[in-house]
Structure 1
Amino acid sequence: MVGSGLIVLLILAMTCLTRGAMAARYTVGDHVGWTSPPNITSGFYDDWAANKTFMGGDVLEFNYKGTQNLAVVSREEYDHCKRVSKVLGEGEEGEGYAYPLPANANGMYYFVSTIDSHCKGGQKLAIKVTSSVPFLTSLSSDSLSVLVSAILSALFIR
């Protein structure tokens, strides 16, 4: 007979493995999209994010309104709208960029537009990302596979 603790552990491990299939997709700014002033006000994207819970594996969809780009930046670059050289996606109206948060993401993520004064005008987003299973965030996929294999082996040993 299999112990109830082992069954709970197996269910937890399987939940971790299927987390990617349950990842949420967020359209940044909803119908407004990723745009610059005068279409938004300062703090617009922070207000948009305020009632959402972002988790590792979720996808942020930045739908461009006008000529736009996107950069993931540090807190300092976000706070001071510093120009960065690494831009993830540039595009025109109707294009965009889908940013998948890493599966083991945990902490703050900062996004800005680097075009002209868009960032200073409010085209920036700061989100807090939490892990879906905190104690497993440091495990590599290989380690997680070994854990699941060990659990499955234990289930079938009499």
Structure 2
Amino acid sequence: MRKRVVAMKICDYSLLACLVVTFFISRFGEAREFDVDGKENSWKIPSSPDEFNKWAEKTRFQIGDYIVLTYDPNSDSVLQVNEEDYNTCNKAQPIKSYQDGETKILLDNSGPFFFISGANGHCENGQKLEVKVLSPQHSLPKDHSPASAPVDSPVKFLPPAPSPASGSGGLKVGIIEGFIVMFATFVVLAFI
């Protein structure tokens, strides 16, 4: 009888451990939302011409992530363009045009995405961004987590959804939920 009780406790521990691991794996596989240049209201002429691209080079984008560009919609816009138009700041035939003031763009495939300002003279003064999205074969390193995100690029973890949740700063609630689940797991295990 005692062996059966011990075996049941081991099963309980194993099941609980599997649930916790599954929770964390699903949390880190969710879409992320990046504020361009790591801060709100940053889609404007930068202090240095390559500021946006230096930020983007330090950030590891995956398929399903979003970038967020915030700006005054009365004086600016965001144009998604091809590489040639990006290099020449040609606004004539954008792939997509955004003018809502808080533009959230889904990075839906691997490879480069090119964005320029729609305001006259802004692109020529450095208000342009190239984002490189990793292919599924080039996944994030095992140690990638919200804690390892660059300090100057707040990341929000969002559940996959057709339209992303609003907001634009810091880590999303998922990290807090993870710690709560982990704490609850330890409490439960302490009383078993």
**TM interval, short-chain normalised:** 0.5 to 0.7
Q: Give the one of 100, 105, 126 matched to 1:99.
A: 105
Paired AA for residue 41 in structure 1? S
The structure with the largest alpha-carbon Rg is 2
| Counterpart residue identity of residue 81, structure 1 | C
Q: CA deviation at 1:83?
A: 1.5
For 1:54 and 1:19, locate their aligned partners in 2 and report how far apart those are by CA, in whole Å: 16
The answer for the alignment partner of 1:50 in structure 2 is 57
- Which ranges of structure 2 fall in alignment gaps of 5 or more residues? 1-25, 139-192
Structure 1 segments unaligned to the other structure (5+ residues): 1-17, 135-158
Check conservation: 2:36, 2:43, Cα contact below 8 A.
Answer: no
Distance of aligned partners of 1:79 and 1:26 in 2 relative to their CA distance in 1, 3 Å threshold: same
Query: 2:44–2:71: 8 Å Cα contact kept in structure 1?
Result: no
User: TM-score, length-normalised on structure 1?
Assistant: 0.61
Q: CA deviation at 1:75?
A: 0.6
Identity fraction in percent: 23
Deviations 1:9-38, CA, capped at 9 Å, x for gaps: xxxxxxxxx79961111001222534333x
Q: CA deviation at 1:65?
A: 4.7
What is the CA deviation profile of residues 79-127 of structure 1, one whole-angstrom value per residue up to 9, with x for unaligned ones?
0101234452114xxx31100111xx11111111121011011110001
Q: Does 1:112 align with 2:88?
A: no
Structure 1 counterpart of 2:135, from 122, 131, 134 = 131
Report the CA distance shift for 1:83/1:30 in structure 2 as closer, same or farther (over 3 A): same
Separation in 2 of the partners of 1:112 and 1:128? Answer: 15
The alignment status of 1:81 with 2:95, answered yes or no, reads: no
**Cα distance in 1 for residues equivalent to 2:27 and 2:62:** 10
Query: What is the aligned length?
Result: 111
Contact 2:71 2:102 in 1 (8 A): yes
Instruction: State the partner residue of 1:24.
Output: 32
Residue equivalent to 1:149: none
Q: Is the 8 A contact 1:71 1:84 kept in 2?
A: no
Q: How does 1:28-39 map to 2 (within 5 A)?
A: 28-31=36-39, 33-37=41-45, 39=46
CA RMSD in angstroms, aligned pairs only: 2.4
Q: Which residue does 1:59 correspond to in 2?
A: 66
Secondary structure of the residue aligned to 2:120 is: coil
Secondary structure at the aligned position of 1:115 is classed as: coil
Does the CA contact (< 8 Å) of 2:79 and 2:117 recur in 1?
yes
| CA distance in structure 2 between the aligned counterparts of 1:84 and 1:78, rounded to whole angstroms | 11
Q: Is the 8 A contact 1:113 1:124 kept in 2?
A: yes
75, 90, 97: which one aligns with 2:99: 90
SS at match of 1:29: helix
